[in-house]
Each structure stands twice: as structure tokens, then as C-alpha cells.
Amino acid sequence: MRQRLNELAKQREATEAATEKAQRDPVEELKKNVEGRGEEVIGAALTENPELVRRVAAALVKAIREGRVETPIDSGDLLALFRRLGLNVKVETRLMVQKRGETKDLRKALEEDWQSF
């Protein structure tokens, strides 16, 4: 009797684990497998077309699990993929300048240089 209860408990745990795995959000799974500004790219793409991004994320996660896609996925590659699929993903870009041990925005650095003339 006790043995049967243990077997049922193990089956229930296995079923719950499989259900939990199936219910994971593919976008969150994909975020774990990107590097750099990948999360920012995914967020920007989600604002453009959430349905398409979820389908792409599900396909990428499946490919990662099957070993067809290497991880981590570069943010530039992810951005290029979304753009090839027709999403006009806009990611904020800033140019930074390092001068005398300080890192500044390019605009501020140029303004300071012009003021010194």
C-alpha cells in the first residue's frame, strides 16, 4: 500500500513538472539565453508586436533545447532576426567617449570642447 502511494506521488510530481515546463513563458526563457542588450531588444520588440515575438521566442527556445542554436544569443543577431521578420525594432543607442578617465556622452563631450574655444 505504501509503495503504491509512493509511486502515485512520483507520478504526480512528474506530471506537475511537465506541466510547469510547458507553461513557462517562452519570452522569459529566451531572456535567460541572450547576452548584452538582448533583454532590451526583446522588450522593444514586444512593444512592436507581442504575438510575433512570443512565437519567435518559442521557436528559438525549442531550437536551443534541441541544440540547433548556440547560447548565449548575441543581441545584435537577435535584433537582425527581428528586423528580417519585418519588425522595426528601435533600440536606444548612445555613443560614449572616454577622455581622461571619464566616460561621457558624446554630445556632452562635444559641448564641453566647443565651450573651451
Quick: pLDDT tens for 28-84: 999 999 999 999 999 999 999 999 999 999 999 999 999 999 989 999 999 999 999
Size (the chain), residues? 117
- pTM for the model stands at 0.64
* Buried/exposed code over 22-43 (b: 16+ C-beta within 10 A; e: otherwise): eeeebbebbeebbeebbbebbe
Q: Which helix (H) or strand (E) holds 23?
A: helix 2-23
Domain ranges of the chain: 24-115
